[in-house]
């Protein structure tokens, strides 16, 4: 989570118009999920990987690790689709287990593969967005899309204070460790619970101090801020449109071939 | 004419702590004021009063000789004229984006977006924020966060800027940068009030020094006056500035003449000694 945040600020695509990146990610994701086309998903996986790693400059090893996380989850959950328990063996494989079979069909394997690749393609779209766009830019796009202001203000403050509170938590933990606060499991649990309660108190104090500081800058219950936006480029928009059209052609082509 | 005046100011917190017990002072426009005093002497509480966040229980504050108006409109005007830079930037910066952060105050006082953008750019330039303007606030160093929190206030174009221990937790290099930036603000005609524990800096920099002690003004005057009052310094646990102490010693030992103007920093004192040896 924190790594994603660090990476997005160094991405070479960071200063690309956030609306374009958002539109690309969401439209591609929708096409992928709705069509469930394997060909289309493969194209998306390749495209987002190239965009994020090659053009955005996110290290390949990081990208692989990040993709491996959802992949593990998806593989585990698709096992249920592949593996069946049945009295009659299915066509792909069948392992007899007493009176029943642990078995699977080719159709099931195909469905599982389709699910894995489309899910991963959808995840890669979201990774493309979050690895190349800082949170504040995404919030600005949401604001333009008329997302309720309350949500945006909450997200903005939560995002900021996530880091403030994490820093406090880590410094408390460090000082506990330097006093042998984790010498055995029991002490470690105890230290952790102390840290959480101190963190809670600090969070309340911080929120009061923040409110005072905002009041002193004439806060009236609405957070008004200016955003630096980077103008959209015609070339990029055309490229996005072409890509989406290409995806649609892939889907139709794939349907016709089958 | 004073820009800010406090008359018999009392403030008590909800838990019964009497933080201010009768503050009387006035600040002239364009002055550089250093507020000194032990922790808990009421400096921060006083600052929050100046900005209308704390409403005094007793006594009155005046801005341009008009008593503070605590109505919504009055507070808006007050806070656009008197700005506070808080001690801990992490309590002040609410946005992850430097640009958003700085634009907050100026939009709140009703400046239109175009003008606000111009002012934000100007503050970024003036306070030398350009090299890290695109970094998120959580990756900034302490000194950089401080620069942003000063810009937060500067964009509102205030007449008075109050800085609560601006050099706290800064390394010497960033302290020098910050002092240089504060000097720039002062040169623009902004009245600066800072609280500090650094007697040497207060002695060299301030036009007027105010000593706070247990919620009261113990002494105020020129830096030379205040820092020569040994008894009051002892009461507030402050040491004499190095330049003054050395100067007094050299005068007592007959190295320098007592009628020379008191040197406000070590460089001036060094010059005296060099001239004397010639």
Q: What is the pLDDT of residues A80-100, one digit of tens each?
A: 888 888 888 888 888 888 888
Q: Which two tokens stand for residue A172?
A: 């408390």
Q: Verify whether the Cβ–Cβ distance A214 to B99 is below 8 Å.
A: no
Average pLDDT over residues B42-67: 92
Domain shared by A122 and A242, yes or no: yes
The tokens 């090893």 sit on which residue?
Answer: A61
* Cα dihedral value A213, A214, A215, A216, nearest 10: 50
Return left, alpha or beta for B207; rule: phi > 0 is left, psi -120 to 50 is alpha, else beta. alpha
Neighbour tally for A64: CB within 10 Å: 12
Above 80 in pLDDT, residue A141?
A: yes
Q: Verify whether the Cβ–Cβ distance B152 to A228 is below 8 Å.
A: no
Domain shared by A62 and A121, yes or no: yes
Query: A163 CA to chain B: closest CA distance, Å?
Result: 6
Cα–Cα dist A142/A23, whole Å: 11
Average pLDDT over residues B45-59: 92
pLDDT over 70 for what percent of chain B? 100
Chain A environment of B105 (Cβ under 8 Å): 217-218
DSSP annotation of B168 reads: T
**A25 within some domain:** yes
Query: B32 CA to chain A: closest CA distance, Å?
Result: 21
Highest mean pLDDT among A251-255, B152-156, B170-174: B152-156
Is residue B92 within 8 A of residue B86, CB to CB? The reply is yes
Domain shared by A9 and A88, yes or no: yes
B141 touches A at CB < 8 Å: no
Cα–Cα dist B65/B52, whole Å: 16
What would the pLDDT profile of A180-192 be if each residue is shown by its tens digit? 888 889 999 999 9
Angstrom CA distances, A194 to A79, A165, A190, A231, stand at: 41, 15, 6, 49
Name the band, by pLDDT with cuts 50, 70 and 90, for residue A48: very high
Angstrom CA distances, A154 to A111, A148, A151, A160, B218, stand at: 40, 10, 5, 10, 45
Name the band, by pLDDT with cuts 50, 70 and 90, for residue A137: very high
**A64 within some domain:** yes
Summary mean pLDDT of chain A: 91
Average pLDDT over residues B213-240: 91
Domain shared by A122 and A52, yes or no: yes
pLDDT at A253: 85
* Exposed/middle/buried for residue B73 (C-beta within 10 Å: 0-12, 13-18, 19+): exposed
Q: For the sheet containing A100-104, what is the strand order? A: A84-86, A100-104, A93-97
Domain shared by A105 and A77, yes or no: yes
Q: Verify whether the Cβ–Cβ distance A226 to B101 is below 8 Å.
A: no
What would the pLDDT profile of B133-170 be if each residue is shown by its tens digit? 999 999 999 999 999 999 999 999 999 999 999 988 88
Whether ipTM > 0.90 holds is no
pLDDT over 70 for what percent of chain A? 99
- Name beta bridge partners: A99: none
Residues 6+ apart with CB under 8 A from B152: A217, B83, B85, B92, B93, B101, B102, B104, B105
Cα–Cα dist A132/A62, whole Å: 13
CATH 3.40.50.300 corresponds to the domain B2-88+158-239: yes
Return the closest-CA partner of residue A227 out of B110, B138, B116: B116
**A76 within some domain:** yes
A vs B, Cβ pairs < 8 A, gives 105
**A222 within some domain:** no
Domain shared by A46 and A96, yes or no: yes
What would the pLDDT profile of A198-216 be if each residue is shown by its tens digit? 999 999 999 999 999 999 9
Domain shared by A32 and A106, yes or no: yes
pLDDT at B44: 92
Cα–Cα dist B170/B176, whole Å: 9
Average pLDDT over residues B265-278: 86
Could you give the angle at the alpha carbon of B47 between the alpha carbons of B94 and B229, nearest 5°? 140
What would the pLDDT profile of B3-38 be if each residue is shown by its tens digit? 999 999 999 998 988 999 999 999 999 999 999 998
Average pLDDT over residues A3-31: 92
Above 70 in pLDDT, residue A1?
A: no
Domain shared by A117 and A191, yes or no: no
Query: B53 CA to chain A: closest CA distance, Å?
Result: 7
Domain shared by A124 and A206, yes or no: no
pLDDT at B207: 93
**A13 within some domain:** yes
**A221 within some domain:** no
Q: Verify whether the Cβ–Cβ distance A218 to B109 is below 8 Å.
A: yes
Structural domains of chain A, count:
2
Above 70 in pLDDT, residue B98?
A: yes
Domain shared by A125 and A6, yes or no: yes
DSSP annotation of A229 reads: -
The tokens 């250093």 sit on which residue?
Answer: B34
Residues 6+ apart with CB under 8 A from A192: none
List the single range of A93-97, B127-131, B203-207 with lowest mean pLDDT.
Answer: A93-97
Average pLDDT over residues A126-139: 93
pLDDT at A81: 85
Name the band, by pLDDT with cuts 50, 70 and 90, for residue B86: very high
Domain of A155, in residue numbers:
148-215
DSSP annotation of B97 reads: B
Return the closest-CA partner of residue B148 out of B169, B164, B126, B165: B126
Name the residue facing A213 among B76, B92, B135 (closest C-beta).
Answer: B92
Cα–Cα dist B45/B166, whole Å: 16
Is residue B213 within 8 A of residue B41, CB to CB? The reply is yes
């Amino acid at each position: 989570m924190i790594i994603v945040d660090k990476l997005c600020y160094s991405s070479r695509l960071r200063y690309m118009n956030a609306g374009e990146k958002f539109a690309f990610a969401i439209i591609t994701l929708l096409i992928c999920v709705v069509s469930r086309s394997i060909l289309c998903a493969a194209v998306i996986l390749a495209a987002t990987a190239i965009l994020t790693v090659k053009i955005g400059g996110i290290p390949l090893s990081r990208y692989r690790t990040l993709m491996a996380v959802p992949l593990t989850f998806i593989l585990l959950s698709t096992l249920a689709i592949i593996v069946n328990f049945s009295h009659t063996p299915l066509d792909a494989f069948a392992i007899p287990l007493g009176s029943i079979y642990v078995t699977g069909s080719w159709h099931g394997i195909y469905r599982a593969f389709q699910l894995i690749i489309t899910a991963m393609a959808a995840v890669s779209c979201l990774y493309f967005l979050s690895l190349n766009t800082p949170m504040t830019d995404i919030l600005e796009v949401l604001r333009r899309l008329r997302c309720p202001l309350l949500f945006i203000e909450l997200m903005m403050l939560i995002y900021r204070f996530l880091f403030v509170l994490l820093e406090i938590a880590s410094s408390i933990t460090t000082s506990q460790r330097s006093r042998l606060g984790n010498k055995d499991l029991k002490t470690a649990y105890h230290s952790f619970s102390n840290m959480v309660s101190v963190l809670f108190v600090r969070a309340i104090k911080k929120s009061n101090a923040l409110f005072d500081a905002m009041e002193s800058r004439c806060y009236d219950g609405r957070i008004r801020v200016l955003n630096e936006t980077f103008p959209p480029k015609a070339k990029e928009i055309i490229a996005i449109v072409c890509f989406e059209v290409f995806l649609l052609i892939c889907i139709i082509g794939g349907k016709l071939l089958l | 004419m004073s820009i800010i005046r406090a008359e018999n100011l009392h403030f008590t917190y909800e838990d019964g702590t009497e933080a201010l017990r009768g503050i009387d002072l006035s600040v002239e426009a364009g002055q550089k004021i250093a507020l000194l005093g032990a922790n808990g002497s009421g400096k921060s509480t006083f600052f929050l009063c100046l900005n209308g966040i704390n409403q005094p229980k007793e006594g009155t504050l005046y801005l341009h000789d008009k008593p503070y108006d605590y109505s919504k409109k009055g507070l808006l005007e007050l806070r656009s004229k008197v700005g506070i830079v808080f001690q801990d930037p992490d309590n002040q910066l609410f946005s992850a984006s430097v640009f958003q952060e700085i634009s907050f105050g100026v939009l709140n006082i009703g400046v239109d977006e175009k003008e606000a953008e111009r002012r934000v750019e100007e503050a970024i330039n003036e306070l030398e924020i350009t090299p890290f303007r695109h970094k998120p606030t959580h990756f900034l160093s302490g000194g950089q966060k401080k620069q942003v929190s000063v810009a937060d206030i500067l964009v509102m174009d205030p007449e008075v800027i109050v800085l609560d221990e601006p050099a706290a937790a800064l390394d010497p290099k960033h302290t020098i940068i910050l002092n240089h930036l504060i000097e720039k603000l002062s040169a623009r005609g902004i009245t600066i009030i800072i609280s500090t524990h650094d007697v040497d800096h207060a002695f060299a920099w301030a036009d007027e020094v105010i000593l706070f002690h247990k919620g009261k003004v113990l002494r105020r005057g020129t830096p030379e006056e205040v820092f020569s009052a040994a008894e009051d310094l002892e009461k507030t646990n402050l040491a004499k500035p190095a330049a003054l102490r050395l100067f007094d010693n050299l005068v007592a030992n007959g190295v320098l003449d007592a009628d020379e103007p008191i040197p406000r920093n070590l460089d001036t004192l060094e010059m005296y000694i060099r001239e004397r040896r010639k």
